Amino acid sequence: MPTIVDIQNLRKSYAGGFEALKGVNLQIEKGEILALLGSNGAGKTTLISTICGITTATSGRVTVGGHDIRDDFRAARSMIGLVPQEINLEPFEKVINTVRFSRGLFGRPADEAVLEK
C-alpha cells in the first residue's frame, strides 16, 4: 500500500519553551486504521492539528498524499476530513447554513449545487 501520510522529524515548540512534539516520525499507509493513544499533554492534538494545517510545526515535514502541508496546502487539506474535538459554531444554526459556512474555511466558494438539502 502507498503511504498516504508521511511525517518526518516533526517538532513543535511553544513560546514558553514547552516542546509538544519531539521529532515524530510516522508513516500511515492508505487504508490503514490508526489510533493515537497517550496521556494528557502527550501531543496527540498538536500532531493532528499540525497534519491538518491548524498548527504550524517548528520543524520537520508532513506530506498528505504526496502534498507538503506547507508548500501545497490546498491539495493536502483537500484530502483530509477532520471532526473537531470541540464545536465552536453556532449551536442553534441550521445544519445547511453551517455546511455553507464551512466550505469557506476550506477555500471553497459558495455553491448551492453541491449542497444536499
Higher-confidence position of 113 and 116? 113
**pLDDT tens track for 59-113:** 999 999 999 999 998 899 889 887 776 666 677 888 788 777 777 776 777 778 7
4-27 pLDDT, tens digit per residue, is 999 999 999 999 889 999 999 999
Residue 59 forms beta bridges with which residues? 11
Domain range list for the chain? 3-77, 87-117
CA distances to 6, 30, 55, 79 from 96, in Å: 34, 31, 27, 22
Q: In the predicted model, what is the mean pLDDT of residues 39-51?
A: 92
Sheet holding 67-68, edge to edge: 19-29, 3-13, 59-64, 67-68
Q: Choose the CATH number for 3-77 among 3.30.1340.30, 3.40.50.1480, 3.20.20.70, 3.40.50.300.
A: 3.40.50.300
